C-alpha cells in the first residue's frame, strides 16, 4: 500500500513543541460532549500543531483550529490538494478516485459543472414536500408514545431513506448499508474499515451493472449518462461517483440532526424560543450548524508553504476540522454560546470548491426535522440518567439520544 499505515513518524521539519495529541481525531465513543470538553481546550493551544494519528486515525497530520486559516486552506487548491486523500481505494489495493471529492482542478471543475445542476435549490425544492412528509411519517410513529430514541427512530431513517430513494436502492436493506457505512467511516480498526469499503464496492458495482442494463430515474442511472468535457465517465469514475454519493448521503445529515436535537433536549429555553416563534427556526438551524459542525476534512500539501506561522512541506498531510472552525473565538464572539440571532458565516458544509454537493437537500432535511418535531412533540428532554454517547473521529455523532416528553 502506498499510504504507510505502519504509523509513519513525524517529519523532521516539525518543531517538537508543535507535536501534540488531538483527541477529536481518535475514532471512539466518549460520554462527554466534545464541543464542551475537548474543543475549547484546543483553542487555547497553538494555531497549528502536528498530531501523530490525526490523518484518518493512522498517520500524522497538521491540525488547524482557526477559521481564518481553514478558509485560506480550503480556498487554495494549488497548494492543498485532495488526490487520494480519503485512501478508500488504497485500503483495498485499488486505484480510483472518490468523485468529486478526491478530484482537483481542472477535472474537478469540469465534473462539478455537470453535477451542480442536479442539486440546485430549485431541483431540491421540486420534491421538498416529499421530504417534509417523510419527516412527519417517522415522527408520527413515536409522537404519542412519550419517549423515543431520536437517533435510531428519526435522525437515521429519515434522511437515509430519502437518499436511498434518490439512489434507487431498497430501503429494506437500510440496516445492512448502515453497517457498511459505519465500518468504513467510523470503525476504529483499519481492518474493519477495509471490510466496509469492500462490501460497498461489491454491492455498488453490481447495482451499476444492473442500471446499465435497465436505467431508471435515479442518481446512479444519471451517473451513467453524465458527460464531462464531451465524454461519458469511465466505469471507475461512475463507481467513484456512486461511492461518493453513498458515503455522503448516509451519514452527515444524521450527525447534524442528532446534535441539534441533543442541544434542544438539553436547552428547553431554546426549544421554547422556537415554539414561540417558528420563523426563527431557519436562523436557529444555521447557528446550531455553526456550533455543532460535525465533519473534518483532509488535504495534502503539494508545495512548501507557510500558514498559521508554521512551515509545511510538500507531502505533509493536513486535517481541517470544521468543528474547531465553528467554535473559533477569533471568528465568533463567545463561540460556546448558542445565539439564534447571530447570523454568522457558517463553514459547516465546507468552503471553496469542495463545498457539499447535497447542501440544499441537507439544509431542507434539517430544517423540516426541526419544524415538524417542534410542532408535533411537546417540550422534550433527555431521559433521566441517560448518558449521551458521542462518537468522535472524522464525523462527530450522538450515537443514541433517548428523549422523553
Contact 263, 255 (CB under 8 A): no
In SS3 terms, 126-153 reads as: CCHHHHHHHHHHHHHCCCCCCEEEHHHH
The nearer residue to another protein, 117 or 216, going by C-beta atoms, is 117
Q: Are 133 and 278 in contact (CB under 8 A)?
A: no
Task: Show the cell assigned to 141.
Answer: 410513529
Residue 345 interacts with another protein (CB under 8 A)?
Answer: yes
* Closer to another protein by Cβ: residue 120 or 336: 120
Contact 338, 35 (CB under 8 A): no
Report, in Å, the least distance between residue 109 CB and another protein.
Answer: 6
- Residue of 13, 28, 83, 113 interacting with another protein (CB under 8 A): 113
CB of 361 to another protein, least distance (A): 12
One of 311, 355, 375, 387 touching another protein (CB under 8 A):
355
For another protein, the binding residue among 4, 29, 116, 225 (CB under 8 A) is 116
81, containing H or E segment: strand 80-81
For position 272 contacting another protein by CB under 8 A, the verdict is no
Nearest CA to 61 out of 74, 69, 52, 70 is that of: 52
366 neighbors 103 (Cβ within 8 angstroms): no
Strand 317-321 and strand 296-301: pairing? Answer: antiparallel
Contact segment (CB under 8 A) with another protein among 23-31, 109-117, 128-136, 374-382 equals 109-117
Task: Rule CB under 8 A: choose which of 360, 368, 380, 390 binds another protein.
Answer: 360
Closest distance of CB 49 from another protein, Å: 27
Tell me if 13 contacts another protein by CB under 8 A: no
Cα–Cα–Cα angle for 19, 25, 31, rounded to 5 degrees: 120
3-state secondary structure (DSSP) of residue 391: strand
Pick the piece of the chain touching another protein (CB under 8 A) from 14-22, 116-124, 202-210, 267-275.
Answer: 116-124
User: Per rule CB under 8 A, is residue 29 in the interface with another protein?
Assistant: no
Cβ–Cβ < 8 Å for 20, 42: no
Among 4, 7, 29, 120, binds another protein (CB under 8 A): 120
Residues near another protein (CB under 8 A)? 75, 109, 112-113, 116-117, 120-122, 345, 351-355, 360
Amino acid at each position: 500500500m502506498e499510504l504507510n499505515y505502519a504509523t509513519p513518524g513525524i517529519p523532521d521539519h516539525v518543531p517538537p513543541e508543535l507535536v501534540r495529541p488531538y483527541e477529536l481525531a481518535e475514532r471512539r465513543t466518549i460520554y462527554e460532549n466534545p464541543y464542551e470538553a475537548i474543543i475549547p481546550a484546543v483553542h487555547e493551544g497553538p494555531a497549528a500543531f502536528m498530531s501523530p494519528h490525526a490523518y484518518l486515525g493512522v498517520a500524522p497530520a497538521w491540525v488547524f483550529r482557526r477559521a481564518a486559516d481553514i478558509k485560506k486552506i480550503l480556498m487554495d487548491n494549488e497548494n492543498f490538494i485532495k488526490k487520494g486523500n480519503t485512501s478508500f481505494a488504497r485500503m483495498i489495493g485499488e486505484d480510483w478516485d472518490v468523485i468529486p471529492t478526491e478530484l482537483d482542478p481542472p477535472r474537478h471543475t469540469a465534473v462539478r459543472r455537470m453535477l451542480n445542476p442536479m442539486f440546485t435549490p430549485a431541483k431540491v425544492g421540486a420534491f421538498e414536500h416529499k421530504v417534509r412528509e417523510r419527516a412527519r411519517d417517522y415522527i408520527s410513529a413515536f409522537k404519542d408514545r412519550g419517549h423515543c430514541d431520536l437517533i435510531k427512530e428519526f435522525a437515521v431513517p429519515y434522511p437515509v431513506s430519502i437518499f436511498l430513494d434518490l439512489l434507487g436502492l431498497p430501503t429494506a436493506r437500510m440496516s445492512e448499508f448502515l453497517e457498511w457505512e459505519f465500518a468504513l467511516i467510523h470503525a476504529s480498526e483499519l481492518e474493519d474499515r477495509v471490510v466496509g469499503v469492500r462490501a460497498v464496492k461489491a454491492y455498488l458495482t453490481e447495482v451499476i451493472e444492473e442500471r446499465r442494463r435497465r436505467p431508471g430515474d435515479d442518481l446512479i442511472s444519471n451517473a451513467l449518462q453524465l458527460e464531462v468535457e464531451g465524454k461519458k465517465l469511465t466505469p471507475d469514475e461512475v463507481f467513484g461517483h456512486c461511492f461518493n454519493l453513498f458515503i455522503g448521503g448516509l451519514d452527515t445529515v444524521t450527525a447534524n440532526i442528532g446534535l441539534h436535537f441533543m442541544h434542544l433536549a438539553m436547552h428547553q429555553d431554546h426549544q421554547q424560543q422556537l415554539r414561540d416563534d417558528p420563523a426563527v427556526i431557519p436562523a436557529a438551524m444555521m447557528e446550531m450548524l455553526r456550533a455543532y459542525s460535525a465533519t473534518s476534512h483532509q488535504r495534502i500539501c503539494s508545495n512548501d508553504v507557510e500558514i498559521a506561522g508554521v512551515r509545511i512541506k510538500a507531502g505533509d498531510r493536513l486535517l481541517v476540522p470544521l468543528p474547531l472552525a465553528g467554535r473559533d473565538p477569533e471568528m465568533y464572539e463567545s463561540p460556546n454560546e448558542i445565539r439564534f440571532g447571530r447570523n454568522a458565516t457558517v463553514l459547516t458544509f465546507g468552503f471553496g470548491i469542495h463545498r457539499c454537493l447535497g447542501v440544499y437537500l441537507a439544509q431542507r432535511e434539517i430544517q423540516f426535522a426541526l419544524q415538524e418535531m417542534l410542532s408535533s412533540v411537546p417540550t422534550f428532554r433527555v431521559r433521566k440518567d441517560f448518558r449521551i454517547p458521542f462518537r468522535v473521529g472524522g464525523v462527530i455523532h450522538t450515537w443514541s439520544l433517548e428523549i422523553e416528553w
